[in-house]
Amino acid sequence: MSRRRVVITGLGCVSPVGNSVEETWNSVKNGKCGVTNITLFDSSRLPVKVAAEVKDFDITKYGIDSKATRKMARFSKFCLAASAQAISDSGYTPEALKAEKMGVMVGNCLGGIEATEAGFNKFCDPSAGPDRLPPLTTPLMISNEAAANVNIYYGFQGLSWTINTACASGTDSLGLASDLIRSGRADVMLAGGTEAAITEFSIATFVKLQALASKFNDNPEKASRPFDRDRDGFVMAEGSAMFILEEYEHAKARGAKIYAEVAGFGSSCDGYHITAPLPDGSGAAKAVQLALEDAGLAPSEIQYYNAHGTSTHANDSGESAMLKLALGEENARKLHISSTKSMTGHLVGAAGAIEALFCVKAINEGFIPPTINIENQDVEGGCDLDYTPNKGIACDVKVAASASLGFGGHNGCIIIKKFEN
C-alpha cells in the first residue's frame, strides 16, 4: 500500500513585512526589512529599542467580525486572520471544511504574554491586587487559545492541538499535521504557527539572556544580520502563517489547486542545554537527516535551504556546521541558503511556518530570497557557505528544506518539493 501524499492547497500570512501572502513574499523577494523602533510599548527602560512588528493590522479586512475577536489575545487574532486567508485560498468555504475529516494544529511559544504581563502588573499593584485581576487573564494568556479561537469562530469540531517546542513550534506543527494526514486520521489540516510577544516583560527576559540585538537601535533595518561578523542577537518579531494541508487524492477529487507537496519531516532534541545549541550541530543534523529519510531523498537533491539563521553567534556558526554534517560538505557548499529573518525578524513559534511558506513560494516562482545585511560575512566564525547575500536570485527549485532550532534543543526540519502528478 502506497503512502498517502500530503499537498499544500491553501496559504495565509500576517507578518512584519506584509499582511497577506503576496505582500509578504514580494517584500522578502526584494529585500525589504520589517524591523523598526518599537511602538507597541515604551522601550525607554530597556537597552533594546527595535522589533519587527505587524503594521496596519485590521482583522475586518479578512472578512472577520471584529466583535468576535474582542476577547482574543493578539496572537489569536493573527492566527485567525492567517487561517481565514488559507481557507479562502484553498477554495473551501468554512461550512464545507467543517464537514471534512479535519483538524487544527497551531505552533506557539509564548501565548498571550501581553495578558500575562497586564494581569501580573495588576496583581502586584498595591492599589489593585488580586481582586482587580482582569477576569479573562487565563483564557487570554494560555497557548492553546489560538487554535481554540479558530475552532470557536468557525465551529470546527475536529482535532485541535497546540504544539510548543519553542522556536521549532511552527515546523513541528506542519510536520505533525502532515503525519496525521498520512496516517488517515485526517484528510485536511489547518496548520501553522502564530506569535505576538513584543511586550516590555518579554523583551526584558530575552535581554537578560543576551539574546537580542541591541547595537542598531539607531538603524533598525540593520539589526537582524544573520551570518554577518557584526551580528549581536536576534530581533523579536510577531505574526502568523497558516496552511491548508490535504491528502492528494482528496484534493484532486475536489479540483483544488496544489502549491507543493510536503515530502518529509524530521524532529530531534540536542539533549544538551536549555538555551544553547550543540556547537557541532549534530542534534539538528539528525532532524535534517530524518527528514531526508522520510522523504526518500538524497542530500544532493535539496536546492534551497531556508535557514533558522537567527543572527546570534551560536546559532549561525552552529547551523553552518550542522549543514555540512547533515548533507556532507560538498553538498552544503553547493546549496542556496537564505535567512529571511534578516527581513522578518524572528517570529519564534511562527518562524518555522512562515519560513516553510517561503520555501513554497521559492519553488512556485523559481526564486531564492536574499539574506540582507551581510556586509562582512563571518567566514572566520564558520559562516562560510552561500547565504544569498543581499540580493535574491532566480533558480529552478524542485526541493526546498527549512529547519528550526529552538530553546531546549528542539529541532525540526520539513522538506517541501515541487508537486508532480
> What is the CATH classification number for the domain harbouring 143?
3.40.47.10
- Catalytic, 269? Answer no
Residues 6 or more apart in contact with residue 2 via CB below 8 angstroms: none
Residue 1: what pLDDT?
53
Percent of the chain with pLDDT over 90: 95
276 in the same domain as 243? no
Number of domains in the chain: 2
pTM: 0.97
Catalogue the E-assigned strands of 92-173.
Answer: 102-107, 159-163
Distance CA 47, CA 67 (A): 37
Backbone phi, psi, residue 181, to 5°: -70, -45
Picking from 226, 253, 280, the residue at the C-terminal end of a domain is: 253
Q: Which of 240, 187, 314, 197 is nearest to 78 (CA)?
A: 240
Least confident window among 120-124, 161-165, 349-353, 370-374: 120-124
Look up cell 542577537; give the residue: 233
183 in the same domain as 104? yes
Residue 275 has pLDDT above 70, yes or no: yes
239 in the same domain as 170? yes
CA distances from 396 to 114, 364, 366, 367, 418 (A): 43, 9, 5, 7, 10
Residue 39 has pLDDT above 60, yes or no: yes
Q: Which of 266, 356, 269 is nearest to 306 (CA)?
A: 356
210 in the same domain as 155? yes
249 in the same domain as 272? no
**Tens-digit pLDDT profile for residues 320-367:** 999 999 999 999 999 999 999 999 999 999 999 999 999 999 999 999
**Tens-digit pLDDT profile for residues 381-390:** 999 999 999 9
Active-site residue identified among 167, 359, 383, 413: 167
- Answer yes or no: is 261 within a domain: no
320 in the same domain as 387? yes
pLDDT level of residue 261 (50, 70, 90 thresholds):
very high
Q: What is the mean pLDDT of the chain?
A: 97
pLDDT level of residue 247 (50, 70, 90 thresholds):
very high
Q: Which domain does 372 fall in, by range?
A: 266-417
- Answer yes or no: is 397 within a domain: yes
304 in the same domain as 238? no
